[in-house]
Amino acid sequence: MTTTERAANAEASKLPRVIRRTSAGFPVRKIGNDYRDVGLAPDALIPGNPMIAQLFCGISMFFPPGERFMIAAAKSVQDRIEDPQLRAEIDMFVRQEAQHATEHSRANKYLAGLVGLDNATICREINALWQYIGRHGSARQRAGFTAATEHFTGFIAEVILADIEFIDSIPESKAKQMLVWHGIEECEHKAVVFDAYKEIGGSEIERIAIMAAYTGPVFIAALLPAFRLIAAHGQLSNLAGWRTGLSTIARRWTVPMVKGYLQYYRPGFHPNHSPTRHLEQYWRTKLQIVDDGQRTNA
pLDDT of amino acid 12: 55
What pairing do the DSSP bridges indicate for beta strands 28-30 and 17-20?
Answer: antiparallel
Partners of 157 in the beta sheet?
A: none
User: Residue 94: which of 139, 150, 56, 132 has the closest Cα?
Assistant: 150
pLDDT of amino acid 295: 61
pLDDT of amino acid 3: 39
pLDDT of amino acid 1: 33
pLDDT of amino acid 9: 41
CA distances from 66 to 18, 69, 70, 101 (A): 23, 5, 6, 9
The pTM (predicted TM-score) of the whole model is: 0.92
pLDDT of amino acid 197: 98
pLDDT of amino acid 288: 86
pLDDT of amino acid 37: 83
Instruction: Return averaged pLDDT per consecutive 10 residues of the chain, 298 residues in all.
Output: 41 76 90 88 96 97 96 97 96 97 95 94 92 95 98 98 97 93 97 98 98 96 96 97 98 98 97 96 89 61
Other C-beta atoms closer than 10 Å to the C-beta of 193 total 31
Other C-beta atoms closer than 10 Å to the C-beta of 41 total 12
pLDDT of amino acid 48: 97
